[in-house]
Each structure stands twice: as structure tokens, then as C-alpha cells.
């Protein structure tokens, strides 16, 4: 999955914390048990010795190796039974001295062999979701609270269409896109004026796609291009590679394209991101308040042609929903 290095590091730090805490708790239990019952320490020493001896016998081989291993295994089992009986006598469970990891499947390493454990996948999803929350009000931007009632239900200029019917189609398409998302999904271009729901539906898609285990980067165009420019001219080797993050994530969502301060560098950097993700067939969603003519003036034909030819465009229409909500809130005294 295309998560950022920051998210992987955060998940690994949590796994390290869990593993360390489990081991420290086991050490405390062991010290307390040994202090109260010194014979437990002796039994553990004997267990260790028989285990090492069995391993050496298996490596050395020979005619008598199998018989020796069988004898050592029998002795090991006998010691374990004596140990368990002593623990029960002391009022302790049989597994009191074992390390109790949060995830016993991978012992809090995050991996079972070369495969990611479910606990690591869950942590990656959790931190990716939290990261989304830093870039927008994801708690309030969901499919289930997107209301079509704010959109006029009659045809009107300048659209020449019924805004509510158009937005019903867009809403349904975005829901289907999120629920069926895969690495082969198409890219989307969300066009329309301010306050028409582009950010709301973008965040709703991000929320659901992240919940399905994909790596999503949601970022405003201003922040993304600022970070790319800082990286381009920074000498700090430990700075996070935003170029790689933008190119490698499963789904890149660039919000409010056109709000950034446009320079030759930002246009070039945007082209690089858009073109690279098209070439690598990685899905991208871009929202903008600019119309096609303004996009051409701002970014040129190279970028516009790629957006119009390889992205599926959705034209949002209606009245500014944010302004409608603000007026309704002021009238109700909220």
C-alpha cells in the first residue's frame, strides 16, 4: 500500500512500544516470581539447558542424536510440568512468566515471515485516517451527511440544467467510485464554483477508500506545491520526500487546484506529478474552482489536455452551500 514514510514510521514506533511494554511486564513478573520462589529460576535454567542441548544434538546428527533429542524433550516436558505445578501452587496462572504480546500472531513485530500482519495493517489505516483529519474536517465530510436538498430542483441559468439532478448523478458516481476503488480506478476531475461540495465528496471518498485499506494522500494544491518547492531547494537530507509520497500513494487527492501562487516551478511540479501518475496508472482526484479556459491560461495546454483526456470530469453546479448554511445559521441564531 502507498502509505507515506511518516505513517509507516508511526506504526512501527507503536509496535516497538507494544513489544517493549510486553517484555518489561514479563521481566517484572519473572523477578517477582523468582524472588518469592527461587526454585522457579532453577527450573527455568534447566529448561534453557535442555533446549540448547537438544538444538546442538539436532545440528551434530549421528546415530545417537535422535535418542538424545527424545530424552531431552521428555526431560523438558517434565520440567515444564513441575514449573506449571509450582506456579499453580503459588496462585499464578501457567502462563504468568510468558511474554504477553498485544498481537500473539506476530509478537508485535508487524510481520509474519515476509507478510504484513493484520495488526500492522490496522495501525497503518488508523494513522492514515488521522492524517486525513489534519487536512480537512473529515468527521463532518461523509457520504451519509451530504445533503442534496441545498441544490435547486429546477433548471436555471447559467447551467441550463437541473442542479439537483446533476448533483444526484455526481453523488452516486462518487459513492460508487469509493466503494469499488482499486489501483486500476480512473482519475477524477471535480470542476465547479466555491461551496458546491467538491471538498466534501473528496473527503468522503478519502475516508471510505482509506477504510478499505488503501493509502490515500489528501492535500491542498498550495501545500503540496509548497512542500515540493521546499524539497527542491532544501539541503536537509532527512526531509520527507513529498515527491515520492505524491507519486507512490494508492490515491492522491489534490484539493482546490488554482488557489496556490502560480510560478514556473509550481506549473512544472504539477505537470510532473500529474504526468507521472498517469504514466504509472495511479488514480488521482483533482478538484478546482477554475473553469477550463482559466485552467489553460494558468497551467497551459500540456496539463489541461492530460486532465481532460485522462480524467473523468464532473461539473458541480448549484448555489454556494456554505453560504446557504451560514445564512440559515444566522437566521436561527446559531
Coil/strand/helix, residue 257? strand
Distance CA 120, CA 122 (A): 5
What integer pLDDT is reported at residue 240 of this predicted model?
59
Domain ranges of the chain: 5-115, 135-332
What integer pLDDT is reported at residue 105 of this predicted model?
93
- ∠ CA 225-230-231, nearest 5°, is 95
Strands of the sheet containing 187-191, edge to edge, are 216-220, 251-257, 284-288, 187-191, 311-315
What integer pLDDT is reported at residue 24 of this predicted model?
93
User: What CATH class has 135-332?
Assistant: alpha beta
* Preceding amide of 158 cis, omega within 30: yes
What integer pLDDT is reported at residue 2 of this predicted model?
60
Beta strand ranges found along 201-293 (DSSP E): 216-220, 251-257, 284-288
- ∠ CA 261-294-197, nearest 5°, is 80
Mention every residue, 6+ apart, whose C-beta is less than 8 A from residue 237. none
* DSSP one-letter code for 212: T
What integer pLDDT is reported at residue 307 of this predicted model?
93
Rounded to two decimals, what is the model's pTM? 0.72
What integer pLDDT is reported at residue 134 of this predicted model?
64
* Per-run averaged pLDDT (10 residues), the chain, 334 residues: 76 95 90 78 77 73 69 76 75 78 94 92 82 66 92 81 93 97 96 93 92 86 86 61 80 92 88 94 95 91 92 93 83 66
What integer pLDDT is reported at residue 171 of this predicted model?
97
CA atoms within 13 A on the CB side of 227: 15
Amino acid at each position: 500500500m502507498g502509505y507515506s514514510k511518516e505513517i509507516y514510521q508511526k506504526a512501527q514506533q507503536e509496535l516497538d512500544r507494544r513489544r517493549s511494554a510486553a517484555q518489561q511486564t514479563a521481566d517484572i513478573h519473572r523477578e517477582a516470581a523468582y524472588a518469592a520462589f527461587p526454585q522457579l529460576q532453577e527450573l527455568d535454567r534447566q529448561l534453557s539447558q535442555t533446549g540448547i542441548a537438544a538444538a546442538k544434538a539436532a545440528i551434530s546428527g549421528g546415530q545417537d542424536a535422535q535418542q538424545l533429542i527424545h530424552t531431552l524433550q521428555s526431560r523438558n516436558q517434565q520440567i515444564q510440568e513441575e514449573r506449571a505445578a509450582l506456579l499453580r501452587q503459588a496462585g499464578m496462572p501457567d502462563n504468568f512468566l510468558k511474554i504477553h504480546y498485544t498481537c500473539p500472531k506476530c509478537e508485535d513485530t508487524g510481520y509474519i515471515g515476509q507478510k504484513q500482519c493484520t495488526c500492522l495493517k490496522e495501525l497503518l489505516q488508523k494513522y492514515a485516517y488521522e492524517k486525513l483529519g489534519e487536512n480537512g474536517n473529515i468527521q463532518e465530510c461523509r457520504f451519509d451527511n451530504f445533503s442534496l436538498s441545498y441544490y435547486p430542483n429546477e433548471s436555471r441559468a447559467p447551467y441550463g440544467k437541473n442542479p439537483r439532478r446533476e448533483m444526484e448523478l455526481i453523488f452516486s458516481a462518487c459513492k460508487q467510485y469509493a466503494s469499488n476503488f482499486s489501483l486500476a480506478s480512473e482519475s477524477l476531475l471535480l470542476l465547479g464554483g466555491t461551496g458546491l461540495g467538491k471538498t466534501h465528496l473528496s473527503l468522503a471518498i478519502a475516508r471510505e477508500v482509506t477504510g478499505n485499506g488503501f493509502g490515500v494522500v489528501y492535500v491542498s494544491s498550495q501545500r503540496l506545491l509548497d512542500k515540493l518547492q521546499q524539497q527542491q531547494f532544501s539541503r536537509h537530507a532527512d526531509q520527507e520526500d513529498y515527491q515520492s509520497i505524491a507519486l507512490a500513494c494508492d490515491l492522491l487527492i489534490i484539493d482546490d487546484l488554482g488557489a496556490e501562487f502560480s510560478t514556473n516551478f509550481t506549473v512544472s511540479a504539477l505537470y510532473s506529478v500529474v504526468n507521472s501518475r498517469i504514466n504509472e496508472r495511479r488514480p488521482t482526484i483533482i478538484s478546482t474552482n477554475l473553469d477550463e479556459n482559466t485552467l489553460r491560461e494558468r497551467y497551459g495546454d500540456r496539463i489541461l489536455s492530460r486532465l481532460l483526456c485522462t480524467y473523468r470530469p464532473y461539473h458541480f453546479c448549484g448555489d454556494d452551500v456554505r453560504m446557504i448554511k451560514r445564512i440559515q445559521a444566522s437566521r436561527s441564531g446559531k
